[in-house]
Amino acid sequence: MKLHTITHSKAETVELAKKIGARLIKGDILTLSGDLGAGKTTFVTGVAKSLKIKDEVISPTFNILKCYFDGKLPLYHIDAYRLKDANKDIGLEEYIEGNGIAIVEWPIYIKELLNVPHLAITIKNKGGNLRELTFKAPNQYYAKKIRGIL
């Protein structure tokens, strides 16, 4: 299943992510694709809010992985950008298949670790504050996470 939607502001993207975040449970995996400034971190901020995480969400481009343990569930935020052409053998599978929700930015660089079903989200900058979000669900399980929201 593939669905599109348009958001008109950062706040609207956060609200959308909050609604999806409220349906996520332990073991769920999301990937986020899109250029720099598309709004990937904004989306993660929304999911974090739905989990009642108080820490500020920042992109872990340098750290590769940032864990948030202060919410209803652990949130694992992975940014695989720096793993392009690098050793990927750093134990990320314990977070992707971990005790919480995993969100992976730049999933193309760790394809080997994403052979499990996940909700693939693409964000496109359509100019100004307009963003096009595409959701690709591989099965009924993930289709239910977005059905009725978009």
Partner 1 sequence: MIYLLLDSSNTYLSVGLVKNKQVMDKISYPCFQRQSEYMVMEISKLLKRNHLKMKQINGVVVSIGPGSYTGIRIALTIAKVMSYALNIPLYPLSTLAINQIIDHDSIVLFNARSNRSYIAAFSKNKRLLKDQVMNNDEVKKYLVQHPKFLLVGDLEYLKLKGKKVDVIKNMSLLMNKVKPVKNPNLVKPVYLKESY
Segment lying near partner 1 (by CB under 8 A), choices 33-41, 55-63, 111-119, 142-150: 111-119
Q: Give the shortest CB-88-to-partner 1 separation in angstroms.
A: 4
Task: Identify the CA nearest to 64 among candidates 28, 89, 47.
Answer: 89
Q: Which member of 21, 39, 60, 98 binds partner 1 (CB under 8 A)? A: 98
Owner of token pair 């660089």: 109
Per CB under 8 A, 69 contacts partner 1: yes
DSSP, res 64 = S
| 93 binds partner 1, rule: CB under 8 A | yes
Listed ranges 32-40, 43-51, 88-96, 140-148: which one lies at the site for partner 1 (CB under 8 A)? 88-96
**Whether the Cβ atoms of residue 32 and residue 134 lie closer than 8 Å to each other:** no
Q: Does 85 bind partner 1 (CB under 8 A)?
A: no
31-32-33-37 Cα dihedral, nearest 10 degrees: -160
Which residues ranging from 13 to 32 are in contact with partner 1 (CB under 8 A)?
Answer: none
Task: Look at the chain and count its residues.
Answer: 150
- Only one residue has tokens 């730049």, namely 106
Please state the closest distance from residue 53 (CB atom) to partner 1, in A.
15
Judged by CB under 8 A, the stretch of 8-16, 94-102, 117-125, 130-138 that binds partner 1 is 94-102
Should residue 70 be labelled a site residue for partner 1 when binding is judged by CB under 8 A? no
Name the DSSP letter for residue 115: -
User: 114: helix, coil or strand?
Assistant: coil
Identify residue 107 by its one-letter amino acid code: P
Q: Does 108 bind partner 1 (CB under 8 A)?
A: no
Q: How far is CA 117 from the centre of its chain?
A: 14
Q: Note the residues at the interface with partner 1 (CB under 8 A).
A: 67, 69, 74, 87-91, 93-99, 112-113, 115-116
